[in-house]
């Protein structure tokens, strides 16, 4: 029987077949590329972590080797500051139990972001709400030039979308050694400047505790931090909402790790 190629039935059938074929092809390509995508994501994450301890020569080609050289232990903490698991050696991007592979951005989106929006003006209540959630907190212990550092990953919300970063602390678990931030869709020249040296470089030498050893985090100060402020950095001019997002992200995240840091110092 001859097929009427001019009819609507033929057109719909042809379109349906093309959609199915195209979808199947894209699915196959995506499946084939998934290992490469995961590796690229892992390499970028390693570069960001290494950047927070001022390893400047990390590239996608050498990220894994440098990560193994400098990152000596990968830990998972619970909200009570207890170590849940540890791992060392090479990272396998496919290993779901590796602390490195914890998707902190996903956990933030699913469990924390709505709390931040609801309670961002009341830090005490926000922390209580966050502490009630079952969340994994990765921590990276590093060694560089004979010194020990601890790298804390964090996620928050900027003006247009997610912001994230890594803050490294010196062995005293108080003093910031370095910081590396990034964003998804912040405005160039404004909020996007959180990933520039002019912003990140301010964090070096700052303390997340006041002189009485009370936790204070690092304040991102609109209009500029006062001279001699050891726990404040200048906010981004014209990027108030993103600066506030970084400030919130720092306070909320470091407050959780503060529990672990205090336990470790008390055990020394």
DSSP annotation string for 112-123: IHHHHHHHTT-H
Asked if residue 160 lies in contact with residue 187, where contact means CB atoms within 8 angstroms, the answer is yes
- Strands 147-157, 71-77: pairing is unpaired
Question: Per-residue pLDDT averaged across 24-34, rounded?
Answer: 56
Name the residue among 199, 193, 120 with its Cα closest to residue 156.
Answer: 120
Q: What is the mean pLDDT of residues 3-30?
A: 64
Q: What is the pLDDT of residue 64?
A: 92
Which of residues 13 and 172 earns the better pLDDT score? Answer: 172
Residue with the larger pLDDT of the pair 94 and 66: 66
pLDDT at residue 186 in the model? 46
Q: How confident is the model at residue 33 (pLDDT cuts 50, 70, 90)?
A: very low
C-beta of residue 93 within 8 angstroms of C-beta of residue 41:
yes
- For 171-219, the pLDDT digits (tens) are 999 999 999 998 875 455 445 788 899 999 999 999 999 999 999 999 9
Residue 105 sits at the vertex; the CA angle it makes with 61 and 144, to the nearest 5 degrees, is 45
Mean pLDDT of 121-125: 94
In sequence order, the 6+-apart residues with CB closer than 8 A to the CB of 211 are none
pLDDT, tens only, 151-170:
999 999 988 788 999 999 99
pTM above 0.75, yes or no: yes
DSSP 209: B
Q: Which two tokens stand for residue 79?
A: 């909200």
- Give the DSSP letter of residue 57: T
What span, in angstroms and rounded, lies between the C-alpha atoms of 205 and 174?
9
User: E strand or H helix at 17, and its extent?
Assistant: helix 8-52
Output 141 or 94, whichever has higher pLDDT.
141
């Amino acid at each position: 029987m001859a097929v009427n190629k001019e009819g609507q039935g033929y057109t719909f059938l042809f379109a349906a077949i093309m959609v199915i074929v195209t979808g199947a092809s894209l699915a196959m390509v995506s499946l084939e590329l998934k290992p490469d995508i995961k590796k690229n994501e892992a390499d970028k994450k390693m570069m960001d972590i290494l950047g927070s301890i001022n390893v400047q020569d990390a590239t996608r080609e050498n990220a894994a080797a440098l990560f193994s050289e400098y990152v000596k232990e990968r830990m998972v903490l619970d909200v009570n500051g207890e170590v849940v698991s540890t791992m060392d050696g090479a990272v396998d991007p496919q290993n779901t139990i590796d602390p490195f592979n914890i998707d902190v951005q996903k956990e933030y989106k699913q469990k924390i972001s709505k709390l931040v929006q609801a309670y961002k003006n009341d830090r005490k209540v926000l922390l209580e709400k966050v502490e009630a959630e079952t969340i994994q907190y990765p921590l990276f212990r590093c060694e560089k030039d004979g010194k020990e550092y601890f790298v804390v990953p964090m996620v928050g919300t900027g003006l247009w979308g997610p912001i994230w970063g890594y803050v490294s602390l010196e062995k005293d678990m108080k003093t910031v050694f370095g910081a590396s931030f990034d964003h998804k869709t912040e405005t160039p020249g404004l909020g996007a400047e959180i990933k520039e040296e002019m912003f990140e470089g301010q964090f070096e030498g700052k303390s997340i505790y006041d002189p009485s050893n009370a936790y204070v985090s690092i304040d991102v100060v609109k209009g500029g931090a006062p001279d001699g402020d050891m726990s404040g950095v200048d906010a981004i001019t014209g990027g108030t909402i993103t600066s506030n997002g970084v400030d919130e992200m720092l306070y909320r995240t470091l407050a959780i790790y503060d529990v672990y840091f205090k336990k470790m110092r008390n055990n020394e």
